[in-house]
Amino acid sequence: MHTNVWYVDENVDSDKCYPQIVEAAQLLKQNEVIAFPTETVYGLGGNALSEKAVAKIFEAKGRPADNPLIVHVASRPHVEKLVTTIPKQADQLMNAFWPGPLTIVLPGGESVASNVTAGLDTVAIRMPDHPVALALLTAANLPLAAPSANLSGKPSPTSAQHVIHDLDGRIAGVVDGGSTGVGLESTVVDCSGDIVTILRPGGVTKEQLEEVVGEVKIDPALSDDGHQPKSPGVKYKHYAPTAPVTLVDGSYSFIQQIVDKRRAEGLKVGVLATEESKELLSADVVIPCGSKEELITVANRLYDVLRKFDESNVDEIYSEVFTHEGVGAAVMNRLSKAANNRIIKE
């Protein structure tokens, strides 16, 4: 399959038609799959009303079929066609955070393709905050099921080049709108109970949610890989570079001891560091991933750094750990998935 690439200014006006957007939207209407940028990562979109289109997403990614997909919309009327009801708290969160990196799990209607929801009676929906994404959604006039546009298990793509590296020849096209913003996927919340529950931490923090709806819970199943997930990105090993990742919860000297031991055994070792630690740690490859003082910078760069380790051909990667407060919860969730929950404590 030939994969088209359309270059679009990231500040495209979603109210105007651009030939590239129109061409990509036409393919979506024909149930092809197209990668496009959002403010979090690049998504791989297909018609959420067509089982045929959604099956192409799973096939291109090599994604397990029991892992539900997020549906992206450009308007509230599309939401209303996909669900049976919108609870009050969900409405409050839509008003506060949409468009933006918040996915809301709602009771699903009959119109959404069954393979979008992995057989669940709920559907996960968000409105992306990116001009190119909104322009494409508007031009296609379809809700788009869109997981991250990468091979399943690999680090999510934050540029069109990442998408092409993973999926060239496997999808109909990529709308290249430049690098993404947040760098981590959306927060996923379940609004079907009395208390809003976080199913996956992401770009909107627990503290921000609580300012709108009061108490917010964190789903204990986040740490359980044996359940049927309501949310994408929580059941399987995700975000992993080729070399195994291990988290190290300890001092810099403890991290250095581990690195030195493995290098002495003949291994090429990489370290995922921060701006604060990059001069304090020595390894074959040391790549800083933002600042501990500003964790949003770590979130922005995490997937790009994990992919850079693939280019360096290291045998193992060690990473320091971060606080679970604020956006740190999302950073640690993704790092734990990348490490398949491997952690060494001092």
Annotated binding site: 40, 63, 67, 72, 122, 126, 146, 148, 156, 186, 200, 239
Q: Residue 99, preceding bond cis, omega within 30 degrees?
A: yes
E-strand ranges in 56-132 read 70-72, 102-107, 122-126
Report residue 264: phi and psi, to 5°. -65, -25
Under a CB-based contact definition with an 8 Å cutoff, are residues 266 and 252 in contact? Answer: no
Tens digit of pLDDT for each residue in 229-243? 555 555 545 677 889
Per-residue model confidence (pLDDT) at position 236: 47
Query: What percentage of the chain's residues is helix, strand, coil (to nearest 5)?
Result: 30, 20, 45
- Binding-site annotation, residues for L-threonine: 40, 72, 122, 126, 146, 186
Across-strand partners of 106? Answer: 123
Say whether pTM exceeds 0.95: no
**Which residues sit in the known binding site for ATP?**
63, 67, 148, 156, 200, 239
pLDDT of residue 109: 85
The rounded distance, in Å, linking the Cα atoms of 114 and 101 is 24
Using 50 as the pLDDT threshold, list the residues of the chain that sit under it: 226, 228, 236
**What's residue 241's pLDDT?**
87
What's the confidence (pLDDT) of residue 65? 79
Instruction: For the chain, list the domains and their CATH numbers.
Output: 4-223 (3.90.870.10), 245-345 (3.40.50.11030)
How far is 170 from 172, CA to CA, in rounded Å? 7
CB 327 within 8 A of CB 232: no
The percentage of residues in the chain with a pLDDT greater than 90, rounded to a whole number, is 80
- pLDDT of 15 reads 60
pLDDT of residue 16: 67
